[in-house]
Chains A and B, each alone.
Chain A
Amino acid sequence: MDLNYSPEELAFRDEVRSWLRANLPAELREKVERYEHLSKDELLRWHRILAKKGWVAPAWPREWGGTGWNVVERYIFEEELGYAGSPPLMPFGLSMCGPVLLRFGSEAQKKRFLPRIYNGDDFWCQGYSEPGSGSDLASLKMSAVRLGEHYVVNGQKIWTTLAHYADWIFCLVRTDSSTGKRQEGISFLLVDMRTSGITVRPLILMDGAHEVNEVFFDDVKVPAENLVYEEGKGWTVAKYLLGYERMNTGRIGESKRQLASLKRYGEHLMGDARWRDRLSRLEVELMALEITNLRFLDRMRRTGEPPGADVSMLKIKGTEIQQGLTELMMDAADPVASDPLAVAIRKRYLSMRKTTIYAGSNEIQRNIISKMTLGL
């Protein structure tokens, strides 16, 4: 048993770390550290810096720009990004639509979309949830009716993150409402956001930020060539994405950085045993999660098997820890302080409640573990 990285892995980590130190623009890092919102240009600026280095989509096959790193190297890389305070890489193109196209897309679709995703030419968003279909995603209603060489799309998506920045949206749509199993009538469709009939309306969340949207589709004509995989097989595509190997689900690196800044920010409270106990318990949870994550990676590396429901465990613990850190940060701030950082910290507490809800609520993750791991 050896809990440490190998000398090669440590050298790799140091290489990533020193590259980040030299290439992560200070103004972007500082904005992230101050919990400020990043503009589309700022998000894309960082995306393109990584694309130029060849590190923006490590998990992709080499022919499409992947790095060929193994699971441990990819984990190290992603955690170092979080630890360094780099802006988030939007997952909708790089780790959602991209992998779907790589697995299910036609050659033409791959050639058309993948390089543009890689280079940050197209900004993607995800059209899954609908007003009546959240956790029960397979009940979705947005219809796509085939008319000649087009699908005509009608309906509504909701909680669409950064749809107001997006050039493209990938949607789950209902192409057949007569099937016995409702999963069978669903298809995976790529839609140009500039098509007429699409309306984006902001949904302002309780922190006051415009991050998510409602997207309305009114007789939107989508070329049939934008169908991914077969008509009626969209659920297969969606399920593949759920099991896609995302190494940084636990966001360990990001949480380690938050913990370090919490220790600085709350230094004046370290004499208070109640505060220290709360902080220590959270630190221990994070330590345990990091080792748990490494154990899963070690197993994946040896068996070559996908992580399965392990990802759900990382999501549950990772988000609980992120929320815990945010709450402690708010409690460390002077309750009457009104400086920009204190205000941003309070808003972040409000905003971070989303983490246990999005990307499959933590209750859905528990259902997955219950079914897949425990056989209940």
Chain B
Amino acid sequence: MNFDYNEEQQLLADSVRRYLAKSYDFEARKKIVAGEGWSAAAWQQFVEMGLTGLPVGAEHGGFGGGAVDLMGVMEAFGDALVVEPYVPVVLAARALERGGKNGALLAAVVEGRAKLAFAHTEKGARYALDAVQTRAKKNVLSGEKKAVIGAPLAEYFMVSARGDDGIALYLVPRAATEVKPQRTIDERLAGDVVLREASAEPIGGGPALLEETLDFATALVCAEAVGAMQFACDTTLEYLKTRKQFGVPIGTFQALQHRIVDMVISLEQARSMACLAASKADGERDTRARARAISAAKIKIADAARHISQESVQLHGGMGMSEELKVSHSFRRLTVLAREYGDADHHLARYAAL
């Protein structure tokens, strides 16, 4: 039993935090969001710190890390509300590697020369794993994927499609698709991806690889949410200590004290479940036990994200609504993270069915 990061994990998380504090503070982030919606310089820095290769094997220039190795990084990203599509890129890269395909592309992703996106969700499918209408006929894909995070930046898409043998993953070059760009409510670049008889490379692995990939992603967003929730709690506590009304700091009022205490309790409970999700994503061989633990974690993270984000805005009063304060941005990120890769209802149903 040991809940610490090992030395390497801690060093990496610290260096990511240092970089973000220096070059990706709230003001810098505002400029990125007001501009192109992502920072090539920041991405290059992530590449140089080895983040794009973290969950990729050494033969492709990566480090062969797991979800626990990524936890500290994801917490730091959640704290800084990073908008670059890190999770989809490493997720697709990892699936590519597990499918045993296209080593050259994988190396390019690790080295920052290419970006991938993970195109799974379709209209009306909500969070269902198997609600895939996109058809694959002899490796030619037709269909439409919705709100694909990072789509405008991706050179290749990892696409789930239904072939004669069931659902599987395919690699599709961007040139074979049409991308309709959009921004999510938490200020990330996304896009609908239209596939009209697009030639694709089959990745293999079938639904098992898809499910395992989405579980891994869920573990990552759990850790990211913990980082954002930690920020929301910290900044709200700071506000309670400094904002004065009736001649005293509002943190002297018991009605508000108890509410921030409950936020902190939610955070601790959520952090525990994020630890569980990451360690099960890495170490649990029994796929049912893995899925159950990760769904349990996402239930807690979704509930806590909703609780903490809503209270953090409420306790800031009118300022909490303002675009000017970072807390309104962590609110948006937590609202999305609570739902990304399945909301609480989805994971409750999955948890109970397993």
Which A residues are closer than 8 A to B by beta carbons?
A: 1-6, 9, 72, 273, 276-277, 279-281, 283-285, 287-289, 291-292, 294-295, 297-299, 313, 316-317, 363, 366-367, 369-370, 373-376
Contacts and interface: CB of A to CB of B under 8 A. Distances in A.
Interface string B1-45: 111111001000000000000000000000000000000000000
A295 B261 contact: no
13 contacts: A1-B68, A1-B275, A5-B1, A276-B348, A284-B300, A285-B269, A287-B273, A291-B275, A298-B1, A317-B265, A317-B269, A366-B262, A370-B254
Interface string B247-283: 0000110100110111011001111110110110000
B352 A370 contact: no
Contacts of A367: 254, 257
Contact of B272 (A279, A283, A288, A366): A288
B126 interface: no
Interface in B305-354: 345, 348-349, 351-352
A285 B270 CA distance: 9
B206 to A, nearest CB: 28
Interface of B: 1-6, 9, 68, 71, 237, 240-241, 251-252, 254, 257-258, 260-262, 264-265, 268-273, 275-276, 278-279, 296, 299-300, 303, 345, 348-349, 351-352
Contacts of B4: 1, 298
Given A1-B2, A4-B1, A5-B1, A291 B272 contact: yes
Contacts of A273: 349, 352
Contact of B3 (A1, A5, A375): A1
Contacts of A288: 269-270, 272-273, 300
Contacts of A276: 348, 352
B278 A313 contact: no
A8 to B, nearest CB: 11
Given A280-B351, A294-B3, A367-B254, A1 B279 contact: yes
Interface of B is mostly: helix
A287 B276 contact: yes
A328 B1 CA distance: 32
B260 A374 contact: yes
Contacts of B254: 367, 370
A280 B354 CA distance: 11
Given A289-B269, A374-B261, A376-B241, A280 B1 contact: no
B300 A285 contact: yes
Contacts of B71: 1
B139 to A, nearest CB: 39
Contact of A291 (B6, B68, B276, B303): B276
A313 B272 CA distance: 13
A298 B273 contact: no
Given A281-B303, A294-B3, 4 more contacts: A280-B348, A370-B260, A374-B261, A376-B251
B269 A280 contact: no
Name the residue in B261, B272, B349 with the highest tally of chain A Cβ atoms < 10 Å from its Cβ.
B261
A317 B349 CA distance: 24
Nearest to A279: B352
Contacts of B241: 375-376
A6 B261 CA distance: 33
